Amino acid sequence: MKDDCAPKDDFDLAVIGAGSAGFSAAITAAEGGKRIALIGHGTIGGTCVNVGCVPSKTMIRAAEAVHGAQSAHRFPGLRGEAQVADWAALVAAKDDLVSTLRQKKYADLLPGYDGVTYLDEGPARLVEGGVEIGGRKITAPKVIVATGGRPAVPDIPGILDVPTLDSTSLLELERLPESLILLGGGYIGVELAQMMARMSTRVTIVCRSRLLPRAEPEVSRALAEVLRAEGLTILDGVTYDAARRDGDRAVLTVTVDGNVRDLTADHLVLTTGRAPNTEGLGLAEMGIETDRRGAIKVGDDMATTRPGIYAAGDVTDRDQFVYMAAYGAKLASRNAVLGGAERYDNAAMPWVVFTDPQVAGVGLTEAQARAAGHDVKTSVLTLDNVPRALAARDTRGLIKLVADRATDRLLGGVIMAPEGADSVQTLVLALKFGMTTKALGETIFPYLTTVEGLKLAAQTFDKDVAKLSCCAG
């Protein structure tokens, strides 16, 4: 609870940033009876609710509704039609949802925590003994930096002179564009590319390596096949040469297989990664080290290289997921002011790409497992072996499991399936509690579910599941 006798600008903890990580840190400390200065700047709530997860996922769902109607013909006797009738209305509905959640999940929460004082008086800067904001000093022995990140601008000659969008401004367009070129084939790029293509925009993805370069190569190939079947153009292994304006359109010059090509579209969409928000924080002056991206380096305790200063979320060199930002911030808060000695652990961290089919994984890839010294065995099960997919007449996707050959212990896995993201948590628990492939394959799963595919994939290590009857094994 708040000590009313304490000096106005004297706190136990200062938290810079009022997004998911900042709120997690502040609430954790407040529940421990500490006085916290939660320092925001601009719109409260951070990336996820305002310009990230929430707006993109509702628009992705809208695009899936359009595609679902158009693909009804996969069932004999059915035909469906759907189209974007009012793009502006769709964007407005997205904005209403964002506004509602921002108010409910952020602004309305603050009055319930007496120990938290919210400050929005301009950008904050780290100084000796606390934080400087709006021309005054906030005194705090411990500080947590949780300022998040923003879309990165790739180093391409001329890129600043052409009509570009990012993941934020794309979803704020007043009219639906006829054509887009997306730079980058990571999770943001593929999600937005498929979404816009389903809205009837002509979409080209260009990327230096392959789609989802950190995922299993089998998944990258399968996802590329799905997207191309939906009419998207994918150019991978490219070199970005230059960008220029042609009237009100954008031109991107790339080299593909040794050939120089000019690609033209209404806009270039920059989905080549994110940059940490560290400008003006005074990191160098405080002796806080950053990596080559400019992200703050933190240890497993979320401490920076400056004693008393911690960091969490997208501003750090840790995992760039909102739930991991909140998790890391909670650890930072406990370690900073509640006497904790907790350590960041992402060994069983799930991740999801909200394409259709969804892609979700946890643990080590095959390449990572081999690099770690494991004698690796793998199983790959295509969805035409999963009864649920057959009944739905949608066998796009696969499941891949990675295990240690000597111990049979599961090391990681990925599932690519319609609505497959909800199934990954079963695999998370399998890894967390050290299950073997044999144990997973002998576990009872409900029939005609997507998650049953994990059991079948586990059985695939030792048998041909195509030769099993329904529910056998």
Tell me the three state secondary structure of residue 414: strand
Angle at 192 between CA 166 and CA 323, to 5 degrees: 85
Residue owning tokens 């066998």: 395
Question: Which of 439, 469, 470, 433 has the alpha carbon at shortest distance from 454?
Answer: 439
52 is an annotated ligand-binding site residue: no
Is position 473 annotated in a ligand binding site?
Answer: no
- Is 188 assigned to a binding site? yes
| Burial class for 472, CB neighbours closer than 10 Å (0-12, 13-18, 19+) | exposed
Residue 57 is labelled as binding a ligand: yes
Query: How far apart are alpha carbons 66 and 263 in whole angstroms?
Result: 27
Give dist(CA 413, CA 424) in Å, integer.
Answer: 9
Per the listing, tokens 């989802």 go with: 212
Q: Cα(314)–Cα(465) distance, rounded to whole angstroms?
A: 42
Q: Is 187 annotated as a binding residue?
A: yes
Contact 38, 10 (CB under 8 A): no
190 assigned binding-site residue: yes
- Rounded CA separation 351/114 (Å): 35
96 phi, psi to nearest 5 deg: -65, -45
Cα–Cα distance for residue pair 26/195, rounded to 1 Å: 35
186 has binding-site annotation: yes
For CA atoms 124, 125, 127, 132, the dihedral sign is negative
Measured N-to-C along each axis, helices 187-198 and 217-229 cross at an angle, to the nearest 10 degrees, of 20
Q: Is 361 annotated as contributing to ligand binding? A: no
Binding residues for NAD(+): 184-191, 273
Q: Which residues are annotated as a binding site for FAD?
A: 57, 314
Binding-site residue ranges: 57, 184-191, 273, 314
